[in-house]
Chains A and B, each alone.
Chain A
Amino acid sequence: MEYILQPWPWYVSGPLLAMIMFTLIYFGKTFGMSSNLRTFCAIAGAGRKTAFFDFDWKSQKWNLVVVLGAVIGGFIAHFLLSNPVDIDLNPVTVESLSQLGFENAGKSLLPAELFSWDAAFSLKGLSTLIIGGFLVGFGTRYAGGCTSGHAITGLSNLQLPSLIAVVGFFLGGLIMIHLLFPLIFG
């Protein structure tokens, strides 16, 4: 039990994620979390005006159930299966965050400077969450997948388009952290 309560090492977590992908393929489906965003648009009625959302969203119910399970899994892992320990971040990372105004790095899963309600109700905080979310939603659908569909499933299936997409993921991430973060938070 002690091993479960501690953070899980990468060499346990990575293979388990591959098993999630494999299990969904065994069930006749695929591993793709960003598709649910399109399903939500279809449920909201976006298909009446836009052909891209005009599909039978009920065929995607299974994936919404995966989402529901993921929320429950997050609850179980965080509140029932975790000893409170700090995230073992590189001290260099912690120092660089401190220079950007992020204190207590690693004391919780997410920085209060971005995700507390105080932050979310500030103009800068709210814009950060909205712009970040918008780019995730727009970019994943444009690229036809996210970390689960391209990085894990696509690369496991040796798909060149997925490799190009993952190069893009890193290009965007590096630009954000190295070029834009100092401008946004500096």
Chain B
Amino acid sequence: MKFLKFLLVGVVFGIILVKSEAVSWYRIYEMFRFESFHMYGIIGTAIATGVILLLITKKFKFKNIEGGLMSVPDKEKGFTRYILGGTLFGLGWALSGACPGPMYILVGTGVFTMLIVILAAILGTYVYGVLKDKLPH
């Protein structure tokens, strides 16, 4: 039962990303060519709403379901890993048209070749884990 709420969050997440067309390879291509406002509108309003929600959360010290303060862990400081890792991800995102949420959602829409992308992504994560200590961070 305790997992049911997470299942529901996932279902709603999947529905939003399909209905918004954010899972579409074409929308990602269009975004990187600056030929539509659509994706910028989605990401922009998501961040704007998120900023307001988190500011209110901190100001009024909202509690989470476990009784602790609702909070988002800070990201470690740094530059190299974020710009290099981000760029590598961006290359893959534009090529495959899918980031790590949509790749699962698209399997649900019946695109089973996406399983190849998912397996390759798991392999990519594995290779990162193996090389981690040799990479600049």
Taking beta carbons and an 8 Å cutoff, which residues of A are in contact with B? 4, 7-30, 33-34, 36-38, 40-41, 44, 46, 50, 52-53, 61-63, 65-79, 81-82, 87, 89-90, 92-93, 96-97, 105-106, 109-111, 114-117, 119-120, 126, 128-148, 150-162, 164-178, 180-181
Contact = CB atoms under 8 A, between A and B. Distances in A.
Nearest to B64: A28
Cβ-closest 4 pairs across A and B: A69-B10, A168-B86, A73-B14, A172-B90
A14 B124 contact: no
A132 B95 contact: yes
B26 A111 contact: yes
Nearest to B130: A50
Contacts of B101: 33, 70, 146-148
Contacts of A129: 96, 113, 116-117, 120
A8 B46 CA distance: 14
B102 to A, nearest CB: 8
A interface, over-half SS: helix
A30 B100 contact: no
A176 B95 contact: yes
Contacts of A152: 43, 46-47, 50
A46 B108 contact: no
Contacts of A63: 6
A137 B91 CA distance: 11
A90 B35 CA distance: 6
Interface string B59-71: 0001011101011
